[in-house]
Amino acid sequence: MKNAVMMAMMFCSVALMAQNDKPTFEKEGEKIKGTFFHDNGTVRQSGYYNKQGKLDGEWISYNAEGEKIAMGQYLNGKKTGKWFFWNEKKLTEVDYASNQITEVTSWENSKRLVSN
């Protein structure tokens, strides 16, 4: 289980480095918002950097279809608090303290809540 979560987190981190389209950066208050794109032009990730250039604040990742696949918080370059990872069948919640995983909880999407 932790291996799957680690792979998802590595994917999100690697995604920042493997951009083909040029990212955009804009000043928002004391922070800089960075937005990174998929090859098809949809947003891949967006989030904030502090004055020291470290990840700081909320970061959100999307798949190529524009669906949210991950969301979490950085504090001065370190993961903190609750992070969420979505896929078509499961939601995984990962709790961080001092940039370390402290707990992992997953929920399966096994039945429909609303029928057509």
Residues whose CB is less than 8 angstroms from the CB of residue 108 and which lie 6 or more positions away in sequence, other chains included: 89, 90
pTM recorded for the entire structure: 0.73
Residue 116 counted as domain residue: no
Q: What percent of the chain has pLDDT over 70?
A: 77
Residue 6 has pLDDT above 50, yes or no: no
- What pLDDT is recorded for position 2? 54
Q: What percent of the chain has pLDDT over 90?
A: 70
Helices (H) and strands (E) in the chain, counts: 1, 8
Residue 41 counted as domain residue: yes
Q: What is the 3-state secondary structure (H, E, C) of 13-56?
A: HHHHHCCCCCCEEEEECCEEEEEEECCCCCEEEEEEECCCCCEC
* Contact call for residues 65 and 42 (beta carbons, < 8 A): yes
Domain hosting residue 20, numbered range: 2-108
Residue 54 counted as domain residue: yes
Domain tally, the chain: 1
Instruction: Residue 33: give its domain's CATH number.
Output: 2.20.110
Average pLDDT for the chain: 85
* Contact call for residues 39 and 49 (beta carbons, < 8 A): no
Residue 89 counted as domain residue: yes
Confidence of residue 14 (pLDDT cuts 50, 70, 90): very low
* Contact call for residues 65 and 56 (beta carbons, < 8 A): no
Long-range contacts of 48-55 (CB under 8 A, 24+ apart): 48/74, 50/76, 52/76, 52/77
**Could you tell me the CA-to-CA distances from 60 to 55, 112, 114 in Å, in that order?**
12, 26, 27
Confidence of residue 110 (pLDDT cuts 50, 70, 90): low
Confidence of residue 40 (pLDDT cuts 50, 70, 90): very high
Residue 15 counted as domain residue: yes
